[in-house]
Amino acid sequence: MTLLLLGLLVLAFTLSWIVTLAMKRIAPRLGFVDKPGHRKIHHNPKPLGGGVGIFLGFAWPVAAGIVIVLLAKPRADASIAGPTTLDVPTYNAYLSGAKEQAPLIGSILAGALVLHLMGLRDDKKALGPYSKLIIQLSVTTALVASFADLRILTTLGTIASIVVTVLWITAITNAFNFLDNMDGLSAGVAAVCTTAFLVAAISIGQWFVAAALALLLGALLGFLCFNFPPATIFMGDAGSLVVGFLLGVLTVRTTFLPPGADFGAGWYAVVAPLLVLALPLYDLVVVSIIRIRNGKSPFVGDTNHFSHRLVARGMSRRTAVLCIYLVTAATSVAAIVLPHVDSGYLAALVCGQVALILGVVALLEQHPLPVPKEPTN
């Protein structure tokens, strides 16, 4: 399975790299570029469309996999030839599980496609923030309401569970959209988070979730070859919304409990996604509060993000991005460990460590921001 996951990662990386390279050349001819503005950090128009590379790097293998699974039939041979030899019962068990997951995976892909197309439309001609939010909520609600396996905190009851899950996925979607404010930031942080979730999924044997995460990681890395500062292409909303949506959905699909573990004794494992995504969520909440306090919409872009404050402290943009990668990696390591600790005391220490890291982030944010040269809208 490890070899299979590596193969999926390489496949997604290759597809994403090729499509992103193509979009880098095609987008300027179509006028599909991000022009400099009062809150933009680039001074020359940059191609958009990197999100197409991310989406197709993930979507093409998933769509092909669904078709193959639906057409495949149980085997009766003594063994299945391949990179490793599978006995028939194991092969048939995997195939049966894949067929059961196909409708859910297909629906997740359809939801990602809707957000991708909406993002492309917004990148070309800006949509209203609340129009985008309504579409996000509609897509997520339809998906969560249709599949009981895609819900968290089910002990709260069906309606409450659906509401909490929809809010969680929507929050993660917008957190990565907010993070897309500096070269390589959103995609790089997403890659770090995806790596952490992939390691966690492998450690607890959730192979279907691990396969999806491997594809997402490969697609992100393929795009980052062109987006790491200084970027030569941007992902736009067509990429950031899809990345956040997929991460939100896949965290819901992951149990974060080792096989055979008792939920009553290891309930704290369910907060692992919060630790991995601590920094994106922190930035989302803090920036939204600042905007609301200033009488602005939380969806109107500005330079109040943590990345901007690090630059205001004297860091280069690349250094600021790398700093945020490291902070995210630090909280992610804690989350990988959390499902395997055997006491509430140790779990509290792990969570306390993440709280201390966020405390350092809060201190680093205490720096006056540069006054914009042009008035903001």
Q: 82 — alpha (psi -120 to 50), left (phi > 0) or beta?
A: left
The two structure tokens encoding residue 85: 């030899």
Q: Within 13 Å and on the Cβ side, how many CA atoms surround 79?
A: 6
* pTM confidence score: 0.90
Q: Give pLDDT tens digits for 162-191.
A: 999 999 999 999 999 999 999 999 999 999
- Do residues 219 and 58 touch, judged by C-beta distance below 8 A? yes
**Element (H or E) spanning 274, and its range?**
helix 272-276
The total of other beta-carbon atoms located within 10 Å of residue 128's CB is 11
Alpha-carbon span 164 to 177, nearest angstrom: 20
**Element (H or E) spanning 303, and its range?**
none
Among 225, 216, 286, residue whose Cα is nearest residue 244: 216
The stretch 41-60 carries a mean pLDDT of 87
The stretch 42-55 carries a mean pLDDT of 85
Split at pLDDT 50, 70, 90, the class of 99 is: confident
Q: Give pLDDT tens digits for 271-296.
A: 889 999 999 999 999 999 988 988 88
What percentage of the chain exceeds 70 in pLDDT? 89
Strand partners, 79: 87
**Is the model more confident about 304 or about 18?**
18
How does DSSP classify residue 27? G
The pLDDT of residue 86 is: 60
